[in-house]
Structure 1
Amino acid sequence: MKKLRHPTPIALAALLLAGAAQAQQQLDTVKVHGRAALGAADSASEGELGVERLALRPLLRPAELLEAMPGMTVTQHSGDGKANQYFLRGFNLDHGSDFAGFVLGMPVNMPSHGHGQGYMDLNFLIPELVDSLRYRKGAFDAEDGDFATTGAARIGYMNAVERPYALLTAGPHGYRRALAAGSTTLAGWTLLGAAEGSRYDGPWEQAEDIRRRNLVLRLSRGDERNGLDLNALSYSADWLATDHVPERAILSGEIGRFGALQPGDGGRTHRRSLSAGWAYNQGSSGQWSGHLWAIDYRLNLFSNFSGFVSGPEGDQIEQQDHRRVYGGDLRQQLPAALLPAGQQLEWGLQWRHDRIAGVGLYQTVERQRVNTVREDRVRQSSLGAFAQLESRWTDGLRSVAGLRWDSLRARATPTGGEFNLDNGGRASQSQLSPKLGLIARAGADTEAYAHWARAFRSNDARGATTTVNPADGSASERLPLLARTTSTELGLRTKLTPHWTSSLALWRANLASELVFVGDAGVTEARGASRRIGVEWSNDVQIGRDWLIDADIAWSRARFVQPVENEFGMGKQVPNAVPVSASMSLNWQPGGPWSSGLKLRYLGAYALEETGSRKSKAVFTANWRLGYQFSERWQLGLDVLNLFDTKANDIEYWGAACTRAEGPGCGDGGEGTDGIQGRLVHPMEPRALRLSLRGSF
């Protein structure tokens, strides 16, 4: 059997190394004071945030930094070592299935992942090092490929800190965190180093005992036009988890509000990476930039979402993923001298190869494997090429036309599982994705936008090569490797006053297939085509010198094209698609020793199943941060998380489960029956105060 190959981008690597050799001076990340400036953005739903917008945000979890992006909600339905749950534009993104994330130019999403397609674990972020967050919603830019159905975010780290510092943080439930960071110059280069360690038990009856270890080394030189950065990152964590549980088990008193159906869930993970990024500009060749990276990743995740449906020993499963990922990208903005007046052309290449040594699903008892449901080895590669032409027709009218080509190839080789050995094989698929946009300046302070785009989200390679259900040997229908989407957006951005910028976006998205959470299995599966429409209103306000306010509200409607039947009847509503969300952030920096940040968030009730007769409860939360600088070297910080001690749920699902008291099959059919359908919840953590002391040297 021949090995799976994409055209190896030797020329890409050579150009990257050549550009790196010519990089000079110290690289400085651009800090953008507003979400997007008029004339600088190509849509109403994109922007970039600098450190002054991010530093005062109180965070319970590192990934909540993404909530600085208007309309994004980040939550959790299990232990904090697991990737977060994300919601945006009427999508339950699960752990990242329809949103693309990048850190230092490296992709975070993992295709064909052991737990869920596009798994995007941002727990390795060190928020204090984040210098910029660039985001787009919708798939309207030709740069964005796989997983960018609802949008993409690119996170950059700073190259230097003003002076070395150590940060110590303590809080209830055993919360401890230490961070040390510093930078120095070496022969024209800047070296940044940071080390972080933390431990937390949480309010759970089974102590979470999460332990995180994080190291960053960053060597940089040059600026954003001519520069080079080399990065080494290492992250690992291990933890115990309290998964979502049947609400009836809490209401009956069988377990406490923060109790677990069965002890021992949790996991261990690591992500280690080496990467290089460079930029090179010479008048005759235009602006070049690119990245190269290699990632070693592993996850062993133990979960029990259904309790005791299958027997008295419980339904714990292990999901494993162990892979190495290699890739890079190259792009060029052609020099203006080679183009007609008013034209700007950019093209690029992107390549990625995942060598997944083992991806598997196992039945376990107390973390010991007792049965292999399926185990596979996967090789998956993707190659993308894009070009985008921006044309300025008049002073008030410009257009953006892009074309993207993607090719995905995969081979899955079964290595375990009684009914899995007949699965496997090869899958490949390509797609052309055109993008069209029109931007009109309606006045000195107003721009209008119209966009249309075709995009895609990949499906798990195992789903594209499986013909036999690995659980019971029944027939299984293969999924396409690519799920096509089309999107449209009409937008408006205007300055209502010199210090108040407002943007409005009306959007629509059509998906060829939908991913829906299945509560009794803890996974996602395809459920047919869907349609979404929505409206977003975002506001960015500066009040005097001291106050920055971001206020956003979003409404969406998500429906399947064909009705779905369940125990309540026929319905078209997409489960866990949030119809209404709103947020407000207030930053206060008067220039003296005091500073403060407040984050308010509202998540509206959403349908738990297709008829909409069962809904979640709406949730309002508030987090607050207060800072005081004693001197040039010493700072004190206080975070109050869940400020009003709201007793609500981080997440709610509808699914089948059995508690220990109900017994296997929930006592109505013996072992192996489906359990009792009901509300599954993961409670929000209670109010917590965390005190930090930072000393600079």
Structure 2
Amino acid sequence: MSSAAPAQPAQDAQVRSDEQTDPSADANTTNSQLERDSDWSEHVVKTAAEPSPTTAAEAHLGARELSTMPRRTAEDFVELVPGFQSVQHGNEGKGHQFFVRGFDAVHGADVEVRLEGIPLNEPSNVHGNGYLDLAFLIPEAIVGVDARKGTFELRQGPFATAASLDFELGIPGWERGVRTLYEVGSTNRHRLAVTLAPEEGSRGTFAAAEALYDDGFGTNRQTRRAVAIARAHLAGDDELNLSALFAGYAADFGLPGTLRLTDVRDDAIGFYDAYSTDTAGASLRGLAALRLLAETSMGDIDAHVYGLGRRLELDENFTGQLLYPDRGDRRLQREDSWTAGGWARWSERLAATLRLSSLLEWRTVWASQSEDQLSPTGQVWQAARDLDFVEHLGAAGLSVDWSPLAWLRLDGGARLDVVGLDARDELAQASGEQWFVALSPRIAATFFAGLDWTFFAAYGRGLRPPEARAVVTPDDPQSENRDHTRYGGGEPELTRTDNAEIGVKWTPVRQLAVSLTGFGVWIERESVFDHVSGVNVELNATERYGLEAVLGWQPARWIDLAVSATAVEARFVDSGEPVPGAPRLMASARASLFHPDGWRAGLAARAIGVRPLAHGAQAAPLGIVDATLGYRWRWLQLDLQVENALGARWREGEYHYASWWDRSQARSQLPVIHYVAGTPRTVRATLSAWF
């Protein structure tokens, strides 16, 4: 579709206009001067008044909003997107659990995430299909987040069944130069970071590094990590740009698991304690990429080639000794993978009212994964998985952006996805190979009704590829009597999702935008994560219907306000029962202050309503407020971040399943509420200096 074209000029493609100018660089800067700054003026239009190009629900967060909001990792930025929420059922370093449009997307099964177009979801990951871990992205090096709900654009690929996100890297204009920051926190947090970005020349060039140690707020929540990320402009001019991106990441972290709510209420264990004190995880990642942006007589080209190396290790126990009373349910998951891929997007304006866009994309994943059952003290007593696989994901697409009338724009196209799986399970002595093909239409219409009203309508199909384990079949026909179910990865089929949306946006003045969106989502085979078995259980068809309302307002040049609310019903088609894990109501509010005199402040509030759980239970509603305050004077800046500012004692993640931890009690298969504690009030202070 039209959005598949390069969104920015080639020379400064990596940095949007709202990141070019520092309104606090000169304490004497006046509002009239800011009015005359075209970069700053364009930022106002983007954040407050410009209709989204495809749907009313599309959103962009710029560097100014991100820099004033509390954050520990890049995953905290997801909560700032209207209609998105995330919770953590592990620790900082393990992937979050995402909620959007009635989906419990677990660790990324239904939310596609890219880094400037590079896909980050890990297909067939040992911990969950589509697994995401964004801790390798340094918050100070993120200048934008693009969010698309539904699957309506040509660029949205596998795992974009509910939504997609794209992170943009760079250093905003007011933070360029050499910056060193040191952060300390009330959880014995110590973080040192350095960013380097030339004040002259290409604004796409930067480097950033960080080192972190944090004890965490409770038992077994320690975190250590080291990250380096850099991009260099290699060659080019206004019509052609070639750049290289590199990243390296290493982390280890405790994994406290969940607690039985009844044990906490009976004072058998503390609210922030853990049953296991030595379970932990480790993560390694390397990334290298080349990107070419070009404006030619044949159209605009955006091309990317990349390579990824990955190692993940998770030692967890969610059920105690329920499944294996004598030896314990603790498990150790490992995965090593390599990914090579690339994509190219081409766009050409054939006439004043007609643009043609196309894309080609391919990636191949080579992975080796294992899972071992451990005793409570960490000794291996049984191998549960030993799998090698190769997974291919390719796509080709074509779309047309046509404006036949001044008040009407039509986007229409289709995407052809190809998925190939070749897997070998050493435990089952079984292998398999299978290919899948899916054609996904994507159409949208935009009506410019005048009087500051814009109406939108869209339909699109998304997909989730099957796990590699799903194609494994026994090599030996004589082994048909063996039980292979524990090696299975579900049905070897693509999961398709149909999304439909209508919306309206009202912009009575440039500083105010109000949008209302109604949506429906139909998925043919629902997937629900089961904490007892540790796999995604495939169920029958579901449907979701909802409304989303968003208000954005800039009462002054240096203030951004936003409020959003999403209500959705997610139910199984046959039974009418609610889909477990999917919140019915979510709301958020944020206020961002970025004053020319150097003051910065942010307030972010979020709420999740009652959430249905498995077996008829419900998770309690929650509401959290975070705040920041900072001041910059010339080359020094001091920031204060307060997480959970009201000091709520809240259960961030809640689940309903059976477990057995107390050996003095009778073993029972009856499910009970388990939870992961949310952070108590924590305070972080950061001192930054520019050289």
Aligned to 2:35: none
Q: 1:159 Cα deviation (Å)? A: 5.7
RMSD of aligned Cα (Å): 2.4
C-alpha distance in structure 2 between counterparts of 1:59 and 1:27, whole Å = 22
1:526 partner amino acid = E
Q: 1:38 Cα deviation (Å)? A: 3.8
C-alpha distance in structure 2 between counterparts of 1:520 and 1:368, whole Å = 20
Q: Does 1:487 align with 2:494?
A: no
C-alpha distance in structure 2 between counterparts of 1:173 and 1:27, whole Å = 35
Q: Tell me the secondary structure at the aligned position of residue 64 of structure 1.
A: helix
C-alpha distance in structure 1 between counterparts of 2:12 and 2:126, whole Å = 42
User: What do residues 491-537 of structure 1 show as CA deviations (whole Å, max 9, x unaligned)?
Assistant: 11111444210111100010011111212133322112111111000
Query: Does the aligned pair in 1 maintain the 2:176–2:199 contact within 8 Å?
Result: no
Aligned partner of 1:359 among 369, 381, 390: 369
Sequence identity (%): 26
Aligned to 2:170: 158
Aligned to 1:390: 401
2:88 partner amino acid = Q
Instruction: Flag the 1:406–1:414 CA change in 2: closer, same or farther, 3 A.
Output: same
Greater shift, 116-125 or 262-271, is seen at: 262-271
Aligned partner of 1:411 among 410, 422, 430: 422
Q: Tell me the secondary structure at the aligned position of residue 263 of structure 2.
A: helix
Q: Tell me the secondary structure at the aligned position of residue 248 of structure 1.
A: helix
Q: Does 1:685 align with 2:690?
A: no
1:209 partner amino acid = Q
1:388 partner amino acid = S
What's the TM-score, normalizing by structure 1? Answer: 0.89
What's the TM-score, normalizing by structure 2? Answer: 0.90
Instruction: Flag the 1:481–1:26 CA change in 2: closer, same or farther, 3 A.
Output: closer
How many positions carry a matched residue from both structures?
A: 649
Query: Does the aligned pair in 2 maintain the 1:71–1:581 contact within 8 Å?
Result: yes
C-alpha distance in structure 2 between counterparts of 1:661 and 1:599, whole Å = 43
Q: Tell me the secondary structure at the aligned position of residue 577 of structure 2.
A: strand
Aligned partner of 2:130 among 105, 118, 121: 118
**Which 5+ residue runs of structure 1 have no aligned equivalent?**
1-18, 564-570, 669-674
Greater shift, 347-356 or 208-217, is seen at: 208-217
Instruction: Flag the 1:266–1:490 CA change in 2: closer, same or farther, 3 A.
Output: same
C-alpha distance in structure 1 between counterparts of 2:79 and 2:676, whole Å = 20
Aligned to 2:261: 247
C-alpha distance in structure 2 between counterparts of 1:76 and 1:349, whole Å = 35
C-alpha distance in structure 1 between counterparts of 2:422 and 2:204, whole Å = 42
User: What do residues 543-565 of structure 1 show as CA deviations (whole Å, max 9, x unaligned)?
Assistant: 123321011000000011233xx
C-alpha distance in structure 2 between counterparts of 1:61 and 1:162, whole Å = 21
Aligned partner of 2:449 among 442, 459, 470: 442
Greater shift, 585-594 or 217-226, is seen at: 217-226
Aligned to 2:299: 286
Query: Does the aligned pair in 2 maintain the 1:26–1:223 contact within 8 Å?
Result: no
Aligned partner of 2:119 among 107, 115, 132: 107
C-alpha distance in structure 2 between counterparts of 1:648 and 1:385, whole Å = 46
Aligned partner of 1:648 among 647, 650, 654: 650
Q: Tell me the secondary structure at the aligned position of residue 164 of structure 1.
A: strand
Aligned partner of 2:345 among 326, 331, 334: 331
Instruction: Flag the 1:471–1:400 CA change in 2: closer, same or farther, 3 A.
Output: farther
Aligned to 1:619: 622
2:321 partner amino acid = F
Q: Does 1:462 align with 2:465?
A: no
Q: Tell me the secondary structure at the aligned position of residue 573 of structure 1.
A: coil
Instruction: Flag the 1:626–1:526 CA change in 2: closer, same or farther, 3 A.
Output: same
1:364 partner amino acid = L
Query: Does the aligned pair in 1 maintain the 2:14–2:168 contact within 8 Å?
Result: no
Q: Does 1:542 align with 2:550?
A: no
Please give the residue correspondences for 1:275-354 in structure 2 after superposition, counting only pairs within 5 Å: 275-282=289-296, 284-309=297-322, 310-311=324-325, 313-334=327-348, 336=349, 339-354=350-365
C-alpha distance in structure 2 between counterparts of 1:305 and 1:340, whole Å = 59
C-alpha distance in structure 2 between counterparts of 1:371 and 1:43, whole Å = 51
C-alpha distance in structure 1 between counterparts of 2:298 and 2:97, whole Å = 43
Aligned to 2:436: 429
Q: 1:83 Cα deviation (Å)? A: 0.5
Q: Tell me the secondary structure at the aligned position of residue 140 of structure 2.
A: helix
Greater shift, 458-467 or 497-506, is seen at: 458-467
Greater shift, 489-498 or 635-644, is seen at: 489-498
Q: 1:340 Cα deviation (Å)? A: 4.3
Query: Does the aligned pair in 1 maintain the 2:12–2:204 contact within 8 Å?
Result: no
Aligned to 2:229: 216
Q: Tell me the secondary structure at the aligned position of residue 584 of structure 1.
A: strand
Aligned to 1:667: 667
Greater shift, 290-299 or 23-32, is seen at: 23-32
1:362 partner amino acid = D
1:462 partner amino acid = R
Q: Tell me the secondary structure at the aligned position of residue 562 of structure 1.
A: coil
Instruction: Flag the 1:450–1:469 CA change in 2: closer, same or farther, 3 A.
Output: farther
Instruction: Flag the 1:645–1:493 CA change in 2: closer, same or farther, 3 A.
Output: same
Q: Does 1:230 align with 2:206?
A: no
Query: Does the aligned pair in 1 maintain the 2:15–2:143 contact within 8 Å?
Result: no
2:550 partner amino acid = S
User: What do residues 338-363 of structure 1 show as CA deviations (whole Å, max 9, x unaligned)?
Assistant: x244111100101010011x112210
Q: 1:261 Cα deviation (Å)? A: 1.7
Instruction: Flag the 1:107–1:470 CA change in 2: closer, same or farther, 3 A.
Output: farther
Instruction: Flag the 1:218–1:477 CA change in 2: closer, same or farther, 3 A.
Output: closer
Query: Does the aligned pair in 1 maintain the 2:566–2:587 contact within 8 Å?
Result: yes
C-alpha distance in structure 1 between counterparts of 2:313 and 2:482, whole Å = 20
C-alpha distance in structure 1 between counterparts of 2:433 and 2:412, whole Å = 34
Q: 1:42 Cα deviation (Å)? A: 1.4
Please give the residue correspondences for 1:505-524 in structure 2 after superposition, counting only pairs within 5 Å: 505-524=517-536
Query: Does the aligned pair in 2 maintain the 1:427–1:461 contact within 8 Å?
Result: no
C-alpha distance in structure 1 between counterparts of 2:407 and 2:311, whole Å = 51
C-alpha distance in structure 2 between counterparts of 1:464 and 1:76, whole Å = 31
1:573 partner amino acid = P
C-alpha distance in structure 1 between counterparts of 2:228 and 2:107, whole Å = 24
C-alpha distance in structure 1 between counterparts of 2:480 and 2:116, whole Å = 39
Q: 1:656 Cα deviation (Å)? A: 0.8
User: What do residues 171-227 of structure 1 show as CA deviations (whole Å, max 9, x unaligned)?
Assistant: 112111110111248997974221101111112133x22101100121025578632
Instruction: Flag the 1:446–1:428 CA change in 2: closer, same or farther, 3 A.
Output: same
Query: Does the aligned pair in 2 maintain the 1:383–1:406 contact within 8 Å?
Result: yes
1:377 partner amino acid = D
Q: 1:460 Cα deviation (Å)? A: 0.8
Instruction: Flag the 1:513–1:495 CA change in 2: closer, same or farther, 3 A.
Output: same
Query: Does the aligned pair in 1 maintain the 2:553–2:562 contact within 8 Å?
Result: yes
Q: Tell me the secondary structure at the aligned position of residue 643 of structure 1.
A: coil
C-alpha distance in structure 1 between counterparts of 2:265 and 2:424, whole Å = 46
Q: 1:59 Cα deviation (Å)? A: 1.6
Aligned to 2:16: 29
1:237 partner amino acid = A
Greater shift, 318-327 or 542-551, is seen at: 542-551
Aligned partner of 1:175 among 179, 185, 189: 189
Greater shift, 182-191 or 432-441, is seen at: 182-191
Aligned to 1:140: 152
Aligned partner of 1:632 among 631, 634, 639: 634
Query: Does the aligned pair in 2 maintain the 1:25–1:223 contact within 8 Å?
Result: no
1:688 partner amino acid = T
1:667 partner amino acid = R
2:374 partner amino acid = T
Instruction: Flag the 1:328–1:301 CA change in 2: closer, same or farther, 3 A.
Output: same
Query: Does the aligned pair in 2 maintain the 1:79–1:266 contact within 8 Å?
Result: no
Q: Tell me the secondary structure at the aligned position of residue 54 of structure 1.
A: helix
Instruction: Flag the 1:223–1:601 CA change in 2: closer, same or farther, 3 A.
Output: farther
Q: Tell me the secondary structure at the aligned position of residue 94 of structure 2.
A: coil
